[in-house]
Structure 1
């Protein structure tokens, strides 16, 4: 499993271009409505656990929660050295107060005994997580599913689906706290843009779609007041992971990392409750989503912004 989420959308168009946005306002960097400095989005008093936090989008999300005054940020990934480097970078770049606790926890999320030990250790120390950000993922091989073979594809489910179910269950069932919980699932446009992602990394789109559908189903059965669940596509960010696939500044119209970072903070707030169980893009304007025609459709159409067969609703 990658230590940071790789949902930077590795499309390779002949000419970089910007996709059409659902909202009229189309953002490629943070903006005032999702600023972590807004009092309404304060994470003060909360403990935030970010899976896949050592670099890229995961690191950007950690930085945004730090700016939003989270009391404790738990960075989770496979390699403790990378996590410690991220921790030091956060403290240096943000000049964080010593009062902001940053913990690092090495954990291979594909191994259940690792995740059991992680959550048991948090419980033993009296640490209750208020916000869970699921950001770690595996990109999967660049080859057709039948060429990969069933066994290799099945391993991608262990990387991109089982950890989501495992962490979500442990998060929901922890302790006896009656504080509201917020689950933010960093998904990808690969769950619906098959024309771009299917031919290149089919097992990635397949497993990320399954993981997103899993939390969608959980949201259907879980009141948002108990655990608010939102999945989102973080956009196209030129991270180190993207560069390792051969991407450069000229390969795409890139988003700034603070866009998904700050959007994750907004998604972990009561303002985003109307999107419980839905999938959105970080670039979409939250004010347009929250009111007007789009909000009316969200409230009335149970299929809108949820995984399903396009065109089949209502027969």
Structure 2
């Protein structure tokens, strides 16, 4: 079974690059008048998300990452796309709860507005090795960044969340596929982080490189712009029906809109659960 077969879209084509329906310049996807925070925004998917938000006209953008140089590079890219967007950079490690809290508080104080969109994209991929051969510190730092870092981020964000604010977590479809050697820390931490965001969503209602190496040789990678534009679409009113769901950026957004009612009616679809258990015991309750 190919990767594309495994992640086949529920309806519509499987995308590897961006497409018109999620184009951030669509009026329906405009973020004008809104503010956004993007973690891990110095490069890769985080950079693409920041660019997409700029294309959609976001008013103020907070860029968080560990390296000032890459953040400033992203800032220059944003200013070329959207000169009117106010851009702020914060060289902060998400594991540092105090610094992260201060960064978000500073962003809100400076812009005078709550945070409308939080793109939680920061993550870490350790050296790929077996559990027995792994460097213990490097293995555990993956959980520190991917889980604790996002724990810190959500706690720093909540006091500054705008009414109807949107949180988008960049995870990986790799948490669902069969065994791949060397990925215990990455896939384990990403699965844990996904459940943390699921819990946060429920709580809020009550108030998402070179180290891959040979293991993915020949694997078809996506155009990074696809992820950026998909996140911008997910943050729009058009995608509100996906609240609390785990969806792939490759899935056709328009196709998901077409089966919107089915998705809204099923609390278990597109979530991480024990597949088949409830059907086996004849129950569909929590």
- Normalised by the size of structure 2, how large is the TM-score? 0.87
Distance across 2 between alignment mates of 1:52 and 1:62: 10
**How far is 1:76 from its partner?**
0.8
Distance across 1 between alignment mates of 2:264 and 2:77: 41
Match of residue 186, structure 1, among 170, 173, 177: 170
Distance across 2 between alignment mates of 1:137 and 1:265: 19
Contact 1:138 1:160 in 2 (8 A): yes
Q: Matched residue of 2:251: which SS?
A: coil
Equivalent residue, structure 2, for 1:217: 199
Equivalent residue, structure 2, for 1:135: 121
Q: Does 1:160 align with 2:142?
A: no
- Normalised by the size of structure 1, how large is the TM-score? 0.80
Contact 1:134 1:186 in 2 (8 A): yes
Distance across 1 between alignment mates of 2:23 and 2:108: 31
Distance across 2 between alignment mates of 1:243 and 1:154: 20
Equivalent residue, structure 2, for 1:74: 62
Equivalent residue, structure 2, for 1:5: none
- After TM superposition, where is structure 1 displaced by more than 6 Å over at least 4 residues in a row? none
Q: Matched residue of 2:205: which SS?
A: coil
Distance across 1 between alignment mates of 2:203 and 2:213: 42
Structure 2 residue runs without a partner (length 5+): 282-286
Contact 1:75 1:105 in 2 (8 A): yes
Distance across 2 between alignment mates of 1:152 and 1:255: 27
Q: Does 1:50 align with 2:38?
A: yes
RMSD between superposed Cα atoms in Å: 2.5
Equivalent residue, structure 2, for 1:195: 179
Distance across 2 between alignment mates of 1:80 and 1:53: 11
Contact 1:141 1:203 in 2 (8 A): no
**How far is 1:100 from its partner?**
1.3
Match of residue 303, structure 1, among 263, 268, 279: 268
Structure 1 residue runs without a partner (length 5+): 1-12, 232-241
Q: How many matched pairs?
A: 276
Contact 2:88 2:107 in 1 (8 A): no
**How far is 1:127 from its partner?**
4.6
| Bigger helix fraction | 2
Match of residue 92, structure 2, among 104, 107, 129: 107
Equivalent residue, structure 2, for 1:265: 232
1:74-104 C-alpha deviation (Å, 9 max, x unpaired): 1110011111122123334x3x32x211111
Q: 1:307 to 1:245 in 2, by over 3 A?
A: closer
Match of residue 38, structure 1, among 22, 26, 37: 26
Q: Matched residue of 1:132: which SS?
A: strand
